[in-house]
Amino acid sequence: MPDPSQAPLPEGLVAFLKRGCPTCELVVPVLAELGAGPGITLYTQDDPEFPDGLEALDETELARSWHHSIEAVPTLLRIEDGKETARTLGWHRGDWEELSGMAGLGAGLPDWRPGCGSLSVDPTREPELRQRFEGGALRSRRVELAALEDEQEAIFERGWTDGLPVVPPTEARVMAMLEGTSRRPDELVAIVPPDLAQGTIEKIAINAVMAGCKPEYLPIVLAAVEAVCNDTFNMHGVQATTMGCTPLIVVNGPIRRAVGMNSGVAVLSPGNRANSTIGRALQLVIRNIGGSRPGGIDRSTFGHPGKLGMCFAEDEEASPWQPLSTDLGVAAGTNAVTVFACEGPRLIVDQLSREPDSLVRSLAACLKATHHPKLGVALSALLVIGPEHGRVFREAGWSKAKLEQELAQALLLRGGDVMRGAGGIAEGLPLPPGAEEAQLPKFRPGALPIVFAGSGAGLFSTVFGGWLTGPEGSQPVTQEIKP
Amino acid sequence: MTGSRVLLDPTDERSPSIRERAPRLGSLDGRTIGLLDISKPRGDVFLDRLEEGLRKSGARILRYKKPTFTKPAPVDLRHEIAVHCDAAVEALAD
């Protein structure tokens, strides 16, 4: 953050100028009037010889411009007791007269002219300036590459990537990323498993740069990191399990649209930058800060392509129901992420059901097959209802609660069908003899969250098979996104 | 150093410390052995058999159980095993 105390200004009137600005040229006679009157200190950003005939100080380093957040030239300031008490941008006779206390300024000049951009906010210079004036705030180790070292190869060799190239995390890029949050770089966001390492804003921002995030995605990434790093989500177990599940991030609230997330056609595909890089940033955080590697703490039998990152937005506008985040306790319209530990997505095809009773039985039949048709009770799944399936429920007036209730009923397992050995299959639930007619839930209450997303064409839904749920496994966590 | 050739370290910057293994037990006779069940199915079957064999060798046995196999052992449990046992055996997987 700019810090005025880093570059104090003299008392009285102060102006910032540059030679290349026509409005600065225009106000030279006014500056002379002020110089002869109350006195004024001039700072010129490009050429200290400007204005001709007036004494100006060299501001080519732009430190004052940076720390005093000068956005345009000319900018006229009044400094009293070391503090700025007034500011005006461009030339406006009334403002200049009021600020200087001098009447009749700039006779013959037009009343008003806008100024030009300050060199300190020039997009081609801003990253370098931010690094120069604010980079000292970053504490991470600097890794200098040798002259003949290729940046990407150097990063691969250090084991910092997921196997794909990353954006090299230079100080300038990390500083730009930190502009995405109002939180301080040294603020601790979470203790990151499995190494229980300190996940600071700065360290997470470095990994967000590498993942390819824009600064405006950073608050979503921070919320996702916070959401997985706790006993409820159990990131350590999720990462270590042989079953190979990984966090899926579902984003709710206006921020989805603000950062351009996809919730519609091909919602689960790579290609949308926000969806792809937010999910990837979380994975890089777990890898680089948390220290998890495949074959290390990650013991998954097959792994999971979604360990590159899984993130999408709910289509709240088209949904007949309240968003997932609201189901889990966050007020509607609030930006939030929900994390859910799961396998990859699997399509549910039903192109014929036009009545909700048929469709719910159809969905349940497919959901029963997650993990194993004879296993249930302790496992979870996340159901993504597609718009064409959603329409069937909407037209029938089914609330989400009604759908959940009907699904739970259709998902009851008959003991005799799922007990160990039944159907000639050793795998199954450990039920005592005589439990043939027992009714068991495929999923416990709350272990089948429902999200609405996808394109308007296709009578499909999608299921993400979950993992062990409840206190002994992983439970979904919803985290509000802070600016 | 130019900006683009200097990267910020994305890791937690810790280097693992290497610790010596505890000395091997010369004999099990009179020693206390902790058996840790991680709550995977049939871990108890394995540890029951192990206990039988160890008792025959004169070892004193203490049994422990993690609340769930999906999470690291609670710190209190780890401390208790370390304080009370000369060695420990953990039954992993099912």
Which of A122, A145, A171 delimits the end of a domain? A122
CA angle A221, A466, A219 (to 5 degrees): 10
What rounded mean pLDDT belongs to chain B?
89
- In whole angstroms, what is the distance from residue A214 CA to residue A180 CA? 8
**Domain extent at residue A20:** 4-122
Split into its structural domains, chain B has a count of 1
Is residue A133 in a domain? no
> Is A155 close to B11, i.e. CB distance below 8 A?
no
pLDDT of residue A225: 98
**Based on the domain organization, do A46 and A174 belong to the same domain?**
no
Is residue A364 in a domain? yes
pLDDT of residue A126: 84
pLDDT of residue B4: 63
Q: Cα A173 from chain centroid?
A: 16
Is residue B92 in a domain? yes
Enumerate residue ranges in chain A where pLDDT < 70. Answer: none
Is residue B48 in a domain? yes
Is residue B88 in a domain? yes
The CA distance from B72 to the nearest CA of chain A, in Å, is 8
Instruction: Using a pLDDT cut of 90, give the percent of chain A over it.
Output: 92
Could you tell me if A244 lies within 8 Å of chain B, comparing CB atoms?
Answer: no
Residue A450 is inside which H or E element, if any?
A: strand A450-452
The CA distance from A78 to the nearest CA of chain B, in Å, is 36
Query: What is the three-class DSSP state of A30?
Result: helix
**Based on the domain organization, do A187 and A284 belong to the same domain?**
yes
Q: Cα B83 from chain centroid?
A: 13
pLDDT of residue A124: 84
pLDDT of residue A67: 95
Is residue B22 in a domain? no
Residue B90 is inside which H or E element, if any?
A: strand B87-91
Please list, in sequence order, all residues whose beta carbon lies within 8 angstroms of the beta carbon of residue A193, skipping any fewer than 6 positions away. A229, A235, A236, A239, A286, A290, A292
pLDDT of residue B18: 85
Alpha helices by DSSP H, listed for A117-200, are 126-134, 151-157, 171-178
pLDDT of residue B1: 40
Q: Model pTM?
A: 0.83
Q: Which of residues 190-219 of A touch B (CB under 8 A)?
A: 192, 195, 197-198, 203, 206-207, 210
A79 versus B19: which is more confidently predicted?
A: A79
- In whole angstroms, what is the distance from residue B45 CA to residue B5 CA? 58
CATH of the domain at A55: 3.40.30.10
Nearest to A373 by CA among A406, A411, A344, A340: A411
Could you tell me if A155 lies within 8 Å of chain B, comparing CB atoms?
Answer: yes
User: B1, B5, B11: best mutation site toward chain A, by most A Cβ within 10 Å?
Assistant: B11
- Both tokens of A105, joined, read 């300024």
Split into its structural domains, chain A has a count of 2
Which of A99, A122, A145 delimits the end of a domain? A122
Q: How confident is the model at residue B94 (pLDDT cuts 50, 70, 90)?
A: low
Which of A122, A138, A165 delimits the end of a domain? A122
**Domain extent at residue B65:** 29-94
Could you tell me if A478 lies within 8 Å of chain B, comparing CB atoms?
Answer: no
Nearest to A431 by CA among A377, A474, A472: A377
- Both tokens of A377, joined, read 């009770």
Chain A contact set for B3 (CB, 8 A): 128, 131, 170-172
The CA distance from B1 to the nearest CA of chain A, in Å, is 7
User: Own/partner pairs for B11-17, CB < 8 Å, 24+ apart?
Assistant: B11/A160, B11/A288, B11/A289, B11/A291, B12/A192, B12/A195, B12/A197, B12/A198, B12/A203, B12/A288, B12/A289, B12/A290, B12/A291, B13/A140, B13/A141, B14/A195, B14/A197
